[in-house]
Homo-oligomer: A and B are copies of this chain.
């Protein structure tokens, strides 16, 4: 169970490196974190998390016992929830809560995001979608673990070869990343076919990088190739919305994407894609910075190469 899972990961980390940074507690990304982790939580923990997220100021004034009473749970559950949210204990969650409350008070309007309904006008749809995606970006940026990002960037920048795994919508994100990396001279390939992906993953070894993208963290077709690459000594990176999912067991570096509530009309795929793309962009820029000497000329070269694919400009007025 938990022990097993934890031990596996720890063992791996110990073997590979010394776990760069467990998880710097989130300052303002609390709401995002609550959403991301909500599925993992038990009922009472969800109650605590939700209470905390909906009224940071109020909760900051409460002691463990107080919050336990207010949520109708026990102190133990409150502490457990705090841990799950990434804090060493309730004390620190409480501090973060106070900070969050202050920020909210200062920032003013929190954000009104009503679900998109079937009978919304298109004007509303546009507004709500834009709003939700903006929120999603903000959440992702706030929750992104820069240490992990740094490590991932370093791995990519120095990789002999990069394989990207993703299925469905995540595959498109993977292709986006691969396209970008190719442009700056890296050898990257996005796999769409799970079988081919596994077949190729066997070739991976130390110095190669395998990157898997899956929102659920449980997509077998994506986990398999990453596992194979991991077993063959490649450095592995996972971009997932569930940092505690199975895929985490085979990832050296985990980049967490945020999750928005999904509604009937707006499948989770939409916000996860937005979130994933931001992460991918960050990776790309990071790598481009680190390989600037070669990246810059490569970028302009690719522009040149495309020029003749465009009709002459005389059409514009």
Q: Write the residues of chain A forming the contact surface with B, with a CB cutoff of 8 angstroms.
A: 1-2, 5, 27-28, 40, 60, 94-96, 98-103, 105-107, 116, 118-120, 122-123, 125-127, 129-130, 133-134, 137-138, 140-141, 144, 146, 149-150, 153, 167-169, 172, 175-176, 179-180, 183, 216, 218-221, 223, 242, 244-246, 249, 264-267, 269-270, 273-274, 277-278, 281-282, 285-286, 288-289, 292, 296, 299, 306, 309-311, 313, 315-317
What residues on B are CB-neighbors of A269 within 8 Å?
180
A269–B313 CA distance with the chains assembled, in angstroms? 19
What residues on B are CB-neighbors of A100 within 8 Å?
102
Contact A129–B285 (Cβ < 8 Å): yes
Contact B278–A129 (Cβ < 8 Å): yes
| Closest residue of B by beta carbon distance from A175 | B172
| Closest residue of B by beta carbon distance from A310 | B218
A315–B242 CA distance with the chains assembled, in angstroms? 11
What residues on B are CB-neighbors of A99 within 8 Å?
60, 98-99, 101-102
A95–B92 CA distance with the chains assembled, in angstroms? 10
| Closest residue of B by beta carbon distance from A249 | B315
What residues on B are CB-neighbors of A264 within 8 Å?
296, 299
What residues on B are CB-neighbors of A146 within 8 Å?
122-123, 126
What residues on B are CB-neighbors of A281 within 8 Å?
129, 133, 270
A270–chain B nearest beta-carbon distance, Å: 6
| Closest residue of B by beta carbon distance from A269 | B180
A259–B41 CA distance with the chains assembled, in angstroms? 41
State how many copies of this chain the complex holds: 2
A180–B172 CA distance with the chains assembled, in angstroms? 12
Q: Which of B105, B137, B153 contacts A130 (CB 8 A)?
A: B137
| Closest residue of B by beta carbon distance from A315 | B246
Contact B175–A122 (Cβ < 8 Å): no
Contact B317–A125 (Cβ < 8 Å): no
Q: A242-B316, A317-B5 are in contact. Are A150 and B122 (CB under 8 A)?
A: yes
| Closest residue of B by beta carbon distance from A190 | B172
| Closest residue of B by beta carbon distance from A95 | B98
Q: A130-B137, A309-B221 are in contact. Are A172 and B168 (CB under 8 A)?
A: no
Contact B246–A311 (Cβ < 8 Å): yes
